[in-house]
Structure 1
């Protein structure tokens, strides 16, 4: 790196987890569309509760744990391959599996603009949090910072989905993000010291919504 390493790392992290980074995350709702159709999410308050629960106790928490583990072992190809296989196996539905693998593939393809040996150490296809964790780790970005940006990117995308689905306006969406800030920080700190033993979720309704979305006739999102 040249110049200020911390500032350069911040710029890269901002670019990789920006909504403008070409991974196509805007096309997925992670089951939120089905939750809206089923009346589980109806307004800004229930949208905030849905997002916050997934971050603290659901699939997003597991993604955070996988991100940290791949960040930790990105220099060990055999180990990162094992973690990648576990992350793929824990995808709870066909659409969830498709989403995380396609986002991971798109992330790695775009992140190659910043050359690094990490791309040769990863399997051909990896889940999105594995890709983000390995690349941020290889570029010397601390796990807590990577987690905070990753979780915020998820929350921002989920809020955007909620706005597109008509359960919140833009002003309400900003308020939801502001209200989630402390939770994002707490989960980032907790996940930064996690191990694979901390994997686990308790969001059955969200898992069912993801499965039910597969048969939804009219939809805006791919998951």
Structure 2
């Protein structure tokens, strides 16, 4: 039976209400049920299926794993991590620069529209909860606030560390992409969960890689993804908007 000392020590290291609240807020932000439209995009996966590059569970898992490490970690995750702190510091010039970088590195029209639409929807959702949100031209930017910056803004209102916000952003992406694979390949729910399990294991090192990037090392260079996304814009039959 545990001693009183042990019990008190355990209680002293228990999560605080503030830590619990931060965790729950991040889970909320990562939820695929969040009304930002993430379910309507496949980010080129549907075109990869149409061209035979993705055709089963293994190839879908490999495609998304590569996308996580090659594009998400080197671009959006790095932006989210930096933007969370920039929002807290009210560094609006830095926010504007990061937002412009996201828009300028979207290689196709539909990928840019996704970033804009999901960012706009995130801000509308925050407004519906009564939270004051920044304008689209905040900090001198003349461009719409994109999803990575809008997500970072939402996360900056919690007590979560930037790394935790990045983990939530990546897991939300993984859930949406897993569901896109289920619909597009198509796959069963079990396959979708195995893909999500693989991605969940790869997310922490991807986030750490993103954190290690200097601002000048960020990049969004994935030629095959860009080609497939461009082809998807005129694909004959489509389930997804990207």
Normalised to the residue count of structure 1, the TM-score between the two structures is 0.91
**Quick one: which of 160, 164, 172 aligns to 2:179?**
160
Q: Are the structure 2 counterparts of residues 201 and 85 from structure 1 closer, same or farther at C-alpha, using a change threshold of 3 Å?
A: closer
CA offsets per residue over residues 81-102 of structure 1, 9 Å max, x none?
1111111111110000000110
8 Å CA contact 2:178–2:192 kept in 1: the answer is: yes
CA distance in 2, matches of 1:116, 1:69: 22
Residue in structure 2 matching 1:31, options 30, 44, 48 = 44
- Structure 1 unaligned spans of 5+: none
1:20 aligns with 2:33: yes
**Does residue 1:126 correspond to 2:145, yes or no?**
yes
Decide whether the 8 Å contact of 1:14 with 1:149 is kept in 2: yes
In the other structure, the counterpart of 1:111 is 126
Q: CA deviation at 1:109?
A: 1.2
Instruction: Output the CA distance in 1 between the equivalents of 2:204 and 2:36.
Output: 24
Q: Is 70-79 or 155-164 further displaced after alignment?
A: 70-79
Which one of the candidate residues 127, 132, 154 is aligned to 1:135?
154
Q: How many residues align?
A: 221
Tell me which residue corresponds to 1:43. Answer: 56
Q: CA deviation at 1:114?
A: 5.0
Which residue of structure 2 lines up, in the alignment, with residue 203 of structure 1?
222
Q: TM-score of the superposition, structure 2-length normalised?
A: 0.84
Query: Equivalent residue of 2:160, what SS?
Result: coil
Q: Confirm or deny: 8 A CA contact 2:116 2:147 kept in the other structure.
A: yes
Larger Rg: 2
Superposed displacement of residue 148, structure 1: 1.0
Q: Which residue of 1 aligns with 2:95?
A: 80
Deviations 1:171-200 (A, max 9, x none): 011111112222111112222343322312
Q: 1:88 to 1:202 in 2, by over 3 A?
A: closer
User: What is the RMSD computed on CA atoms of the aligned residues?
Assistant: 2.0
CA change 1:201–1:90 in 2 (3 A) is closer
Residue 124 of structure 2 aligns to a residue whose secondary structure is helix
